Each structure stands twice: as structure tokens, then as C-alpha cells.
Structure 1
Amino acid sequence: MINPTMLFRIKNSWSRFTTSHPKFPMFLQAASKNNVIQENTVLEIKITTPEGKNLSTNVKLTNDDLALFNDLKEMAR
């Protein structure tokens, strides 16, 4: 069962995050509207530390991944 208190904390944290980083939700909205997130799409994440170290990975999306994203989108409404 979902803990309502945790959902409230996540909602508040997301609000602070999007206030600090307004381009990120705009990026997600653009990706969603332009139908670029679909099966076999590759998502890549790259992290660069202040010291210049890099770490990156990627995933090729499956139908199960898309179902998870849709569930999260519905839960956010």
C-alpha cells in the first residue's frame, strides 16, 4: 500500500526540484508530446561531478518500461 505521507513528501520535493530546475519538466513534456519515448528508444544519463569525473549509462526501453512511465504519469495527476 502507498504511504500517503511519503507521497506528500515526494510531491513537495518534486515541487522544489522543478522550481530550481524549470527546464527539466519542460524537457520531459516535450519528449512526451513529440512521441520520442517509445519502445526501443534509448535513454542515456550522464553525470559529471564538480571534479570533472564522468559516469554514464543507457537503457533501451521496453513495453514494460513504458507501462511503468504511464503508471507514474497517472499517479502524478
Structure 2
Amino acid sequence: MDMNPMLLLQLQKRMGLFQEDHPKVMPFMQAVGNMAIEEGTVFAVKVTTADGKVLESNIKLTANDIETINMMKNANN
């Protein structure tokens, strides 16, 4: 899969803005990546829309999930 270099630059800039607006997110994600990626860990997500609608979901990590996560982490290095 080829990525557009201009799109990658735009995405990098947007990620910088996101980190400025939400400074606790990346340290949290790093802590999760360092301490909680093991088989059986449950990732739960809850989203509340501006009009109050709640959407929730969760997944229990499997060995396949962990392999995929590790591949994504290694792709950034």
C-alpha cells in the first residue's frame, strides 16, 4: 500500500495539534502499550456524543491482536 507523502506530512501536523490539544492521551497510550498489552486484557471504549447518545464497545485481546499491535508498534520505528 503506497502512502501519499503530502498526506503523511499533513497527518504528522494534525497529530501534533491533537497532542497539543490533548496532552494526556499519548502518555496514557504509551502506558497502556508498556503495561497492558497481554492476552486477556479488555479494551473498553465509551463515547458520548454532543447530543448525549452513548456508544460503547469492548474487546478482549487475543494472541492475534497482540501480534497485530506489536507489528504496528514496530512499523513506527
**What TM-score results when the alignment is normalised by the length of structure 1?**
0.80
Could you tell me which residue of structure 2 aligns to residue 56 of structure 1?
Answer: 56
Could you tell me which residue of structure 1 aligns to residue 66 of structure 2?
Answer: 66
Q: Does the C-alpha gap of structure 1 residues 61 and 32 become closer, same or farther in structure 2, counting only changes over 3 Å? A: same
Could you tell me which residue of structure 2 aligns to residue 16 of structure 1?
Answer: 17
Q: Does the C-alpha gap of structure 1 residues 2 and 38 become closer, same or farther in structure 2, counting only changes over 3 Å? A: farther
> Counterparts of 1:10 and 1:64 in 2: how far apart (Å)?
28
Alpha-carbon deviation of 1:22?
1.1
Range moving further from structure 2, 49-58 or 11-20: 11-20
Could you tell me which residue of structure 2 aligns to residue 42 of structure 1?
Answer: 42
> Counterparts of 2:76 and 2:47 in 1: how far apart (Å)?
26
Moved segments of 4+, more than 4 Å: none
**What TM-score results when the alignment is normalised by the length of structure 2?**
0.80
Q: Deviations over 1:18-50 (max 9, x none)?
A: 2211111110111223x2121111101100012
Unaligned runs of 5+ in 1: none
Unaligned runs of 5+ in 2: none
> Counterparts of 2:75 and 2:9 in 1: how far apart (Å)?
12
CA RMSD of aligned residues (A): 1.7
